[in-house]
Structure formats: structure tokens, C-alpha cells
Amino acid sequence: MSQERGFRDPATQSMMLTALYIAQEQYGHLNAEAIERVAGRLDLPVSQVYSTASFYSLFHVQPKAKYHLQICEGLSCALCGGGDALIEYLEGKLGITAGESTPDDLFSLEVVQCLASCGTSPAMRVNDELYEDLNFDKVDRLLDQLAGRAGE
């Protein structure tokens, strides 16, 4: 298959998402080697695979902490007490700013757009798990619970 064909082929496009997910499971994040491997397997340009990997919040092109928190700043979440209020709360509680990891590499924080949970906002994803209807108390309990699991 030529790169031009793969680039335009919807089946290859959809295989790329699955391949990226599997590669992320294997590598921990989508580093250069993982991106090149997916591109090679699907005969796609590396730039296209990287562009896709860096677009979706489900994929990580940088290493993440053990618990990667993705907090939504979308409109529904903001109107329901999330957004900036929850982001600032998490930053204060963890002692980091969005885009950083805690020194023990337990938590990393990322601000993302809609997590497709507007009806149950505010929402946050921790690794592959979605948490909804959040407030400060629920965030406190969740972080305590995760910190307690840290040694597992």
C-alpha cells in the first residue's frame, strides 16, 4: 500500500487509532519509536501519525505519572463548578501546574477540552477511567484513594 493510499483510506485511518492505543499500552506513552512503528506498520507518514496522536486527549506523546489526571475545561464543566475552579483546586492540592507531574511521579495534570461527559459534569479522566459529578470533596477522596493505591 502506498503512503498516498493509506493517507486517504478510511480503513487505515481507523486502524491507526487502534494501533496507537495498543502502542501506548505497550510503550507507556507514544514516544518516537512507537509513532514510527505504527507509521511503518500502516505505511503512513510519521507526521500524520504524530499529528493524530497529539490531537486526541486519549493519547499521550509525553511520559505521564502513575495517575494522569485530565481535567475538563469545557463550557458544561465550567458552568457546573468545574473548569478553572477545579483546575486551580487540583493545582493547589498537588502543588503543580497543568502540564507538570508531582515530584514523586504519582500524579500528572493536564487540562483538556470536553470529555464527552457534559451531562454529568464536572468531569475528569484518570488514566482510562472517567469520574463525573465532581466537586472538591469528591476530588479529595479520589486523590486520597489513588495515593493509597500507589504501592499496588
Binding site residues, ligand FES, CB under 6 A? 72, 74-77, 114-115, 117-118, 121, 123
Nearer Cβ to ligand FES, position 76 or 108? Answer: 76
Residue 9 is classified by DSSP as -
Distance of closest approach, residue 99 Cβ to ligand FES, in angstroms: 19
Helical packing angle, 136-148 and 84-94, nearest 10°: 40
By beta carbon distance, the residue nearest ligand FES is: 74
Nearer to ligand FES, 61 or 114 (CB): 114
CB of 31 to ligand FES, least distance (A): 28
* Angstrom distances, CA of residue 98 to CA of 103, 110, 135, 136: 14, 5, 18, 17
Alpha-carbon distance of 8 to 11, in angstroms, equals: 9
Least Å distance between CB 68 and ligand FES? 17
